Amino acid sequence: MEKAKIAIVGFGHVSREALAAVLESPDMEVAGVVLRNPVKVAEVQKEAGEIPVVTDVKELGEVDVAILGIASRAVPEVAKKYLEQGINTVDSFDIHGEAIMKMRRDLDREAKAHNAVAVISAGWDPGTDSIIRTVMEAIAPKGLTYTNFGPGMSMGHTVAVKAVEGVEDAVSMTIPEGTGLHKRLVYVKLKDGYEFEKVAEAIKQDPYFVHDETHVYCVEDVESLIDVGHGVHMERKGVSGITHNQRMEFIMSVTNPAATAQVMVSAARASLRQKPGCYTLPEIPPIDYIYGEREALLRRLV
């Protein structure tokens, strides 16, 4: 069996977990790690061992899929560069709403033009939770679905806070209030010379936070607050045909980076089974995410 060659782009929490997940996948092999910051190459190379660490994917030779373990706001530009080279991309872009749809349109054109596949927003939300919401709506087409996150650390929100001017370190916690409403508790360590009130206001006005009740706290030590556990509780109450009061729920508690990374690796596998274009997870047959012979999988799953 010829194994798919996977490049890991970035080397943060998710990328490290993605590297481990690829190494555990019998149908994949790691082509190497790609860093955008050359200053970090030597440091990451020590951790990666014999796995090549480079600043340009072209240095790795043939690559089938690039897993983009980078900040969501960097994904549209970086994904385009890989697609232009005919390399499939997988990301965990987590800015919900129109931002996903715009990126889907843009990357769909790019992927088709270069005979490649982009799988976007391939985390657990958006991502596998999106698939669960789709299944729930198939069972009860009319009704309401509530997605309740946490309590836990949001990686996307944490990255967004760290990018705010004046923030040296930060962590953002998501606290569910029920019926899809949430509080954001943000803990920041300031750089010298910055006023906490101004930094806090900039955080609250960021698109990641502007729609939620957000509380910002100034702390001396962020590291002691970090727990990467997270979870989701989805509930739907709706109507099947003319029958009301159909209730269903889905509960998941995870270590956030590991769950996100595994979904991305599974999506990388699925990308090799799709026609050129850009896809969100609900658009791909679920069986394409799983390693194994199709008939054997169907015997087990159906």
Could you list the residues known to form a binding site for NADP(+), using ranges: 92-94, 122-126
The one-letter amino acid at 252: M
| Rounded Cα gap, residues 205 and 201, in angstroms | 6
Token pair listed for 115: 């005979």
pLDDT for 170 = 98
Lowest-confidence range among 20-24, 132-136, 154-158?
154-158
Q: What pLDDT, on the 0 to 100 scale, is given for residue 262?
A: 98
% of the chain at pLDDT higher than 70: 100
The answer to whether the beta carbons of residues 288 and 270 sit under 8 Å apart is yes
- Which residue has 């660490």 as its token pair? 53
Extract the tokens encoding 71.
Answer: 């900040």
Query: Is residue 226's pLDDT more than 80?
Result: yes
pLDDT (mean) for 8-29: 97
Give the model's pLDDT for residue 1. 77
Cβ-based burial of 287 (10 A; exposed 0-12, middle 13-18, buried ≥19) = middle
Residue with tokens 């980078």: 70
Q: How confident is the model at residue 98 (pLDDT cuts 50, 70, 90)?
A: very high
| Domains by residue range for the chain, with CATH | 4-124+256-301 (3.40.50.720), 147-230 (3.30.360.10)
> pTM for the complete prediction?
0.94
Q: How confident is the model at residue 97 (pLDDT cuts 50, 70, 90)?
A: confident
Binding residues for substrate: 174, 184, 230, 256
- Mean pLDDT, the chain, whole residue set: 97
Give pLDDT tens digits for 109-143: 999 999 999 999 999 999 999 999 999 999 999 99
Residue 145 and residue 180: Cα distance in Å, rounded? 8
| pLDDT confidence of residue 35 | 97
Q: In what order do the strands lie in the sheet with 243-255?
A: 142-149, 229-240, 243-255
Q: What share of the chain in percent tops pLDDT 90?
A: 98
**Residue list for the binding site:** 92-94, 122-126, 174, 184, 230, 256
pLDDT tens by residue, 61-75: 999 999 999 999 999
